[in-house]
Chain A
Amino acid sequence: MIRTQISLSEQEYEAAKLEAERLGISLAELLRRSLRNMVPPGGEPPWMRFAAMLSSGNPHSSQQIDDVVYGRKD
């Protein structure tokens, strides 16, 4: 583990502390989790965090885009 120092505004610090309390974790752990979300481990590029960002339940969703965006023909 590498120790480092960061500076936060009072507002950022209070918001982060509140969120850490809500999740039942330390402020340091909250910051580590936030960082992992921005910079995924394992050398994956940052956009890979959006892979499977949702699950529509439809295995054909990418083939039915026009129905959703433009509406299905009657």
Chain B
Amino acid sequence: MAARTEAYVDTAALIAFADGSDSHHALFRRLFAQPPPLITTTLVVAEGHGWFLRRFDPARALQFLAMVEAMRPLRVAAVGLREQKAATLLLRRFADQALTLADAVGLHLMTARRVTSCWSTDRHMGLTGVPLVIHQH
């Protein structure tokens, strides 16, 4: 059996998994139940934490961090100046899109690591041609 390839996890995937009301919840529940190796960034974790903090409260935001810690197949990649510079180039290339820096770093990471599947519900994450998992299932 071929080894399962790495997938990139965007903030939207984590929220859809945690929020039972989200229309993509069932898909991400199924995907996270038997995940391949996963990668995300510290910016995604910060964005997710911010979402819980603003939408709910600090206790829920801490629960979100506990969820990320518990996801052992998920590697959280650090974001430094090099990644920021690469992401800035992408932000300039897609200047007509409302891309966040977190999105752009994710797009850069997927290109740099040749990731072939993006776990997101955000159409922006398909800008560089990596298929969104919601269109594959």
Contact = CB atoms under 8 A, between A and B. Distances in A.
B19 A54 contact: yes
User: Which size class do A's interface residues fall under?
Assistant: 20 to 34
B32 A47 contact: yes
Interface residues of B, number: 34
Contacts of B15: 61-62, 65
A53 B63 contact: yes
A56 B25 CA distance: 12
Contacts, number: 91
A62 B67 contact: no
B83 interface: no
B90 interface: no
A69 interface: yes
Q: Is the interface of B mostly helix, strand, loop or mixed?
A: helix
A62 B32 contact: no
A60 B21 CA distance: 8
Contacts of B13: 62
Given A51-B18, A55-B20, A63 B67 contact: no
Interface of A: 44-63, 65-66, 68-70
Interface of B: 11-13, 15-25, 29, 32-33, 47, 50-51, 54-56, 60, 63, 66-67, 70-72, 98, 100, 121-122
